């Protein structure tokens, strides 16, 4: 970028490599077309944040990052947090206003979940919501199967009674309902 803008005084790659290494990045500052400063930047993850980012990754939760910093890339973040790049996306600049609108602070809002703003609590909320969702879907499937089997049993009882044969005692229907009530409860 500095070369394409004809900034003078740029150090050679060999000189730059003397200062960088182990994931460090060089950021330049120019004033009036001349190089004024060179900053050596290193991105590190706080251990608590790194732990929760990894937990989110293990729970198949993807991260959305809002940044226009040239040092913040998916490759670098993947290395810093030890997670695959596929679990992260950097929002393009054109979507920042929409992101800000969706995540703006509210004075008063009805919410079923809340946290104090710490990343660990936020990550736990997201993982809990995801597990509740899968439990709810599983319960819905079990109840749907129970209903379909109950309808089938009712049809069999009606058909068998119409021919004068009592094929299923009423205690079997009661046991059936108790079994599926227990499964639904679990």
Residue 85 confidence class, pLDDT cut points 50, 70, 90: very high
Q: Using the predicted structure, report yes or no on whether residue 103 has a pLDDT greater than 80.
A: yes
The two beta strands, 88-90 and 24-31, are: unpaired
The two three-digit tokens of residue 102, written as one number: 């969706």
Q: Which residue has the higher pLDDT, 153 or 98?
A: 98
Residue (of 68, 65, 18, 19) closest to 45 by Cα position: 65
Q: What residue spans of the chain are helical by DSSP H?
A: 13-19, 47-58, 74-81, 96-102, 119-162, 170-185
Token pair 């089997």: residue: 149
The set of residues, in sequence order, having a beta carbon less than 8 Å from that of 44 and lying 6+ positions away, is 80
Distance CA 37, CA 28 (A): 6
The span from the CA of 143 to the CA of 182, in Å, is 11
| Per-position b or e across 17-51, b if 16+ CB within 10 A of its CB | eeeeeeeeeeebebeeeeeeeeeeeebeeeeeeee
pLDDT higher than 80, residue 92: yes
Instruction: Supply the pLDDT for residue 9.
Output: 78
Confidence of residue 163 (pLDDT cuts 50, 70, 90): low
Question: pLDDT tens for residues 31-68?
Answer: 888 888 888 888 889 999 999 999 999 999 999 999 98
């Amino acid at each position: 970028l500095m070369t394409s803008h004809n900034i003078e005084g740029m150090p050679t790659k060999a000189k730059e490599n003397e200062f960088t290494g182990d994931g460090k990045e060089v950021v330049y500052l120019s004033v009036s077309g001349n190089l004024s400063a060179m900053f050596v930047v290193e991105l590190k993850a706080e251990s608590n944040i790194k732990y929760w980012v990894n937990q989110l990754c293990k729970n198949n939760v993807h991260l959305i990052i809002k940044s226009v910093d040239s040092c913040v890339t998916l490759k670098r973040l993947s290395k810093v947090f030890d997670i695959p790049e596929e679990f992260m996306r950097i929002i393009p600049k054109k979507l920042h206003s929409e992101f800000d609108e969706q995540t703006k602070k509210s004075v008063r809002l009805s919410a079923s979940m809340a946290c104090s703003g710490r990343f660990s609590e936020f990550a736990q909320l997201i993982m809990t919501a995801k597990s509740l969702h899968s439990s709810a879907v599983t319960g819905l499937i079990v109840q749907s199967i129970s209903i379909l089997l109950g309808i089938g049993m009712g049809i069999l009882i009606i058909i068998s009674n119409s021919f004068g044969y009592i094929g299923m005692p009423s205690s079997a229907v009661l046991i059936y309902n108790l079994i599926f009530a227990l499964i639904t409860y679990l």
